Chains A and B, each alone.
Chain A
Amino acid sequence: AQSVTQLDSHVSVSEGTPVLLRCNYSSSYSPSLFWYVQHPNKGLQLLLKYTSAATLVKGINGFEAEFKKSETSFHLTKPSAHMSDAAEYFCVVSDGTGGFKTIFGAGTRLFVKA
């Protein structure tokens, strides 16, 4: 069975400092993993995705994530936070088996202080 755990419900950083949003997953098969971001009153936007190619995935707006199978983790990072990064972030797993099963994490709300 699939599951996704986002380890922090809220993360607060100062502008210009690194961002780390943590995600652990469980999947019986080779999963696809995604990070989506939702800004207020907007739809979810794909930041990046891992689909069994390179383990270090680069996304939009300077974000990247590393797939670590041994740790079952897919943490999202950014070297330097910007005020516009304040939003809610979702880690998503899909194992691509049989039917369509996509599991969302509970979300991490990122606050960026000036």
Chain B
Amino acid sequence: EAGVTQFPSHSVIEKGQTVTLRCDPISGHDNLYWYRRVMGKEIKFLLHFVKESKQDESGMPNNRFLAERTGGTYSTLKVQPAELEDSGVYFCASSQILPGAHYSYNEQFFGPGTRLTVL
């Protein structure tokens, strides 16, 4: 079974440009999460999809970030326009919806991350 995949693995862009990160969750996983780790800081929650719906986007830094999950399969995270402080590693994770269990108890499977550098 394939794990969570993310593309690209690395991206280097200039301030003001646009970048789109992609995440392919494990097949059948309805929960999809985005996280970010800025250098030297903790991993921070960005948002959570259940299928194609945004369940919680309270962690999104500002309106320069747009996440989508059309069709409830893969997800994209677009940063437009990118700023220097957006540099970091962006992780995606997915998990199943298990009957009778709150989704926060379910194991999340993480992708390897996309390292974004904004110059």
Of the candidates B58, B102, B103, B112, which one forms a contact with A43 in the assembled complex, judged by CB atoms under 8 Å apart?
Answer: B112
Interface pair A43/B42, CB less than 8 Å apart:
no
Q: Is A78 an interface residue (CB 8 A)?
A: no
Determine the interface band of chain A, counting residues with CB < 8 A from chain B.
20 to 34
Contacts A43-B3, A51-B105, A99-B55; A90 near B43 (Cβ below 8 A):
yes
Give residues in B with beta carbon < 8 Å to A. 3-4, 33, 35, 41-45, 48, 55-56, 58, 91, 93, 102-105, 107-113
- Give chain B nearest CB distance to A44 CB in angstroms: 4
Interface CB pairs A-B, < 8 A, 23: A32-B104, A41-B112, A43-B4, A43-B91, A43-B109, A43-B110, A43-B112, A44-B91, A44-B93, A46-B108, A90-B43, A94-B104, A94-B105, A96-B102, A100-B33, A100-B48, A100-B55, A100-B56, A100-B103, A101-B104, A104-B35, A106-B41, A106-B42
Task: Classify the secondary structure of A's interface with B.
Answer: loop
In the complex, A102 Cα to B56 Cα: how many Å? 11
- Give chain A nearest CB distance to B100 CB in angstroms: 12
Of the candidates B44, B56, B102, B110, which one forms a contact with A36 in the assembled complex, judged by CB atoms under 8 Å apart?
Answer: B110
Contacts A32-B104, A32-B105, A100-B55; A44 near B48 (Cβ below 8 A):
no
In the bound complex, residues from chain A placing their C-beta under 8 Å from that of B48 are: 100
